Amino acid sequence: MKRILVLTEWFYPAFKAEALISPCSKFIHELSPHHCFYVLTSDHDKGDKTPLTGIVTNQWTNLTHKSVIRYVPGKNMNAAGLKQIIRKINPHAIYINTMLSLRFSLMPLYLLQKTGFTGKIIIAPGGTLQQRHFGVNALKKSAFTFLHARFRSQSAIYFHARDEQEVFLIKKYFGQNTPVTLAVRELLFPCIPEKASKRVSGKVLQ
């Protein structure tokens, strides 16, 4: 049974970033009968400063039968805290459900590179490669591109695209040989029986 750490800036009961939350939640619930997911997320909704209601912060709570979630206030989502969580979980893979978040993608990638993480890393852009997102975040784009270039020789980095257009954009920005998949199940768990999740055509694209 593999341990997968999921880093996502927002998760249910947050709802303002539904386009990022829904696909992430779906694959976790589909695959959690077979493996353990540890979801690390913020304690507020997109654009809000007040915490979500009905949640417990700074501790792991049940999400599914074999998966847990931890809601973290912004001040606690730092390199030292994340390093301790990674050390305790010792994940086989880390799924980053965003690209341009300081706390949930850029800082974690820097930390993983500095600490010598050699496991599998899956990055889901979630639409952030589209010009309306990528163009207005030039500094974060440059930081992500730099970290990706530094890190890809150290660890196995894959991209999880949501459609063929995103596959095109990933290869445009990061090179034609960048590994991309449309079905995270086939990337993380190629041996899971077909009935475990709905079949999606999405082999790793080279």
Residue 88's nearest CA partner among 68, 74, 73, 106 is 68
Domain ranges of the chain: 3-196
pLDDT at 30: 85
Q: Domain 3-196 adopts which CATH fold?
A: Rossmann fold (3.40.50)
Q: Which two tokens stand for residue 140?
A: 């974060």
- Written as one string, the DSSP assignment of 13-51 is T--TTHHHHHHHHHHHHHHTTTSEEEEEEESB-TT--SB
Task: List beta partners, residue 121.
Answer: 94, 157
Between helices 138-151 and 164-174, what is the axis angle to 10°? 80
- What does pTM read for this prediction? 0.83
Distance CA(186)–CA(199), nearest Å, equals: 9
Higher pLDDT, 147 or 198: 147
Mean pLDDT of 160-176: 86
- Give 122-156 pLDDT, tens digit per residue: 988 877 776 555 554 555 566 666 566 665 555 57
Higher pLDDT, 12 or 179: 12
Q: How confident is the model at residue 4 (pLDDT cuts 50, 70, 90)?
A: very high
pLDDT of 72 strictly over 60: yes
Q: Are 89 and 38 in contact (CB under 8 A)?
A: yes
Q: How confident is the model at residue 86 (pLDDT cuts 50, 70, 90)?
A: very high
Average pLDDT along the chain: 81
